[in-house]
Structure 1
């Protein structure tokens, strides 16, 4: 039947009617909140390009952890900026490394809070690449297989410190299989891997690289992160990681790659994570500060779009604000 028998607007007449037929809901349990931890004491410094996001020293984590808990957010993604960097990222796998210290502190404060440890070397190497580099300048090459051994050491060290989930973001070939084997051999068979399976070489990472102090000192990451033009390649990457033992798959970034989110969701039955990355956050914040957009409406619409596309979890710097808005029963995007 067609108009006038069929009138689609019948189901849109009132807020209650719209709530009855709403297909996609956001919930505080959908969100993972990123944290940036730095050396020192008494540090809480706002990141210039990411208003509302801070660097914390380990001793200042309690106030942030308590706020996160009070909001009902159940997981954090931990990034660390070390005191010293070297060519192989030694600080990434040291027992008293910054991520390890922060993990132990968070688990002591809130044992039930899920700590996801980002497992990469870029914040810890003096060259800013995600693995071991051989050569210099235009001839420099990131050695895939040599890097795997260091990533395994990092993952095992993070798990030993109390991390609940290992999230390798390096995009080396074979990284999930190597880390799975390393965790199992170290007695961490129960620790899941949240693989950055589909991570694009994206322009949307700029503010993060300031926050994590991880920009490459030469060249770029295009030889190991994915070409933004490709989607079949994303399926190959996800298939490899699933076969190697990934427990969750991730697509990063989110906003410009929702088509990729959808096809990965349709092809694989593992939980799917979407990273609402730094520039996506910063663009909204910048426009909101100018009064050009309704920040609350834009953020909730964006996060709903990510979930509608297939996200089971969303890593987002908006998490705390989003939960506050959802708890306030914001009319057209209220939680259930």
Structure 2
């Protein structure tokens, strides 16, 4: 029967009813907080394009980690800014690099907090690209794989709980998996940036991680924003190579990709609510054009509703306080 016997508004009458029949629910356990680690001591550098987000030197991580622990946020995703950069990103695999030292520090402060490490070379190379360059300035996929595997291995030695290759080189998940297994880290999971698009939403992140390319762009290795079938092929290949969790990045402009990945593969699926998505909301809220908390809540709900099991977001602390 239709109206007037059926009235959809009946279950929307008050918050108690709305909450009882809500189909998609957020939990603090859904969130992963990105954390930027810089060289030096007593450094807390605000990132102006990302209000509320900072770079920290390792010695100042205590307060930040204890706050995350108190809020119940279960995991961090570490990005490192090295003291020195070179064409090969040599510091990426140093056992005393920023990510490696931060990993050890965090596990000392909060053993139960999961430390996920971003595996890529863009923060470490003097040219800002995600791999080794050929003489013609293109990225050499196969030579880069060895460096990525060594970086992941150094993170494993430091005690991370999960590695997350973000470079978008072909074959890197399998190459990293094999190297970790050979060195006795067969139980260390991999969260692959499986469908990472060449997006315009990354701008503030490049300020935070000091990793903007010095020339050109990353469209020869990151995905074309118009392609969903290619994204599914990328995800499938990463699963076959040994990925334990697959990721779609960015999130908001790619909700259809998140949904398709989850429905096709049924794998644990992460989505990265990236810097530009975060900063747009912060900027609009600062102008009084939107209500920050309710918009952020709506955004996170949409990402989870699309199929994400995990949401990497700079708003993780805000969301933990809200929910």
| Same fold, judged at TM 0.5 (above) | yes
The CA deviation at 1:291 is: 1.1
State the SS of the aligned residue for 2:271.
Answer: strand
State the SS of the aligned residue for 1:79.
Answer: strand
After superposition, residues 16-95 of structure 1 pair within 5 angstroms as 16-95=16-95
CA distance in 1, matches of 2:39, 2:143: 28
Deviations 1:136-168 (A, max 9, x none): xxx321000000000000000001001100000
Which of 310, 313, 323 is the aligned partner of 1:313?
Answer: 310
CA distance in 2, matches of 1:56, 1:29: 24
CA distance in 2, matches of 1:84, 1:134: 21
- Coordinate RMSD, CA, aligned: 0.6
Deviations 1:301-321 (A, max 9, x none): 000000000000000000001
**Aligned pairs, number:** 323
State the SS of the aligned residue for 1:141.
Answer: coil
Structure 1: give runs of 5+ residues left out of the alignment: 327-336
Match of 1:224 in 2: 221
TM-score normalised by L of structure 2: 0.99
Which of 240, 246, 249 is the aligned partner of 2:246?
Answer: 249
Deviations 1:163-205 (A, max 9, x none): 1000000000001000000100111011000000000000000
TM-score normalised by L of structure 1: 0.96
Structure 2: give runs of 5+ residues left out of the alignment: none
Match of 1:177 in 2: 174
CA distance in 1, matches of 2:131, 2:40: 26
Match of 2:140 in 1: 143
The CA deviation at 1:6 is: 1.1
State the SS of the aligned residue for 1:77.
Answer: strand
After superposition, residues 183-194 of structure 1 pair within 5 angstroms as 183-194=180-191
Match of 2:8 in 1: 8
State the SS of the aligned residue for 2:139.
Answer: strand
CA distance in 1, matches of 2:11, 2:289: 31
Match of 2:111 in 1: 111
CA distance in 1, matches of 2:43, 2:97: 17
Match of 2:201 in 1: 204
